[in-house]
Amino acid sequence: MIARRIATAALLLASALVTSAHAEGDAKRGETRFQECAACHKLEAGANEVGPSLHRIFSRKAGELSDFRYSPAMKRSGVGWTPETLDKYIADPQAFIPANRMPYAGLSNASDRADLIAYLQKATQ
């Protein structure tokens, strides 16, 4: 009886761990997901392509790089990039920052976005 309770508790704990890992996103899967962004974005400092470098993006404000030509919409959006704001932007760029010029339709799957953001939190440092 006790053994069974312990087994049940262990199972509950294991599934709780799996759930929280999922909520935080899987960086390994996110790395693959990033291929979609890599067509336009590099992670190295100063490496602007079609899109601005994403180096240290989570300590930047939208439209902050002086050597990239942003849209007026991006510059005056007042957005600070956090995992939460990036999640909203990637889900639907035009809804979150109307008239910004990122030619990307959006990533509708929330768990794909969580994976991507988990990867970016590591790789943009």
**Residue 41 binds to ligand HEC (criterion: CB under 6 A):** yes
Q: Is the dihedral angle over the CA atoms 47, 52, 58, 60 positive or is it negative?
A: positive
Residue 60, CB-side half-sphere exposure with 13 Å CA sphere: 18
CB of 53 to ligand HEC, least distance (A): 8
**Residue 56 binds to ligand HEC (criterion: CB under 6 A):** no
- Specify the residue for token string 């404000």: 61
Residue 57, CB-side half-sphere exposure with 13 Å CA sphere: 27
- Looking at residues 99 to 118 of the shown chain, list those that interact with ligand HEC (rule: CB under 6 A): 100-104, 107
**Residue 90 binds to ligand HEC (criterion: CB under 6 A):** yes
Contact set with ligand HEC (CB under 6 A): 36-37, 39-41, 50-52, 57, 60, 62-65, 70-71, 73-74, 81, 86, 90, 100-104, 107
